[in-house]
Amino acid sequence: MSFFTYILECSDGKYYTGYTDDLDARVESYNTGEYPNAYTLRRRLVKLVFYMEFEDVDSAKEFERQIKKWTRAKKEALIRGEWEKLPELARKKFKK
């Protein structure tokens, strides 16, 4: 069985990150409003902009947790497949 960590782009341009074992069904359920308390309900329609497949649910959950802490710029680099930019975008910026 496969598990997926995914990023959706909402109609307002915001990103939503999650994990699932059925990617197509999950995206469809967000767009049909199946989850009345979902972050995406008032931001439909959503578009799948990134996903990564994992062999176990724990790895998918962990990657989801990591992405949720990232800045928008870092998420967008991941979406574009610019893996080489991720370390630089991960560095904390401190005020002088």
The confidence score (pLDDT) of residue 35 equals: 87
Q: What is the mean pLDDT of residues 42-61?
A: 97
The confidence score (pLDDT) of residue 92 equals: 66
Burial of 89 (0-12, 13-18, 19+ CB in 10 A): middle
pTM of the model: 0.91
| Dist CA 31 CA 47 (whole Å) | 9
| Dist CA 30 CA 62 (whole Å) | 22
Domain chopping of the chain, boundaries: 3-70
Q: What is the mean pLDDT of residues 29-56?
A: 95
Strand partners, 52: 5
For 9, the 3-state DSSP assignment is strand
Which two tokens mark 80? 């574009």
Confidence of residue 57 (pLDDT cuts 50, 70, 90): very high
Tell the CATH superfamily of the 3-70 domain. GIY-YIG endonuclease (3.40.1440.10)
Does position 22 have pLDDT exceeding 80, yes or no? yes
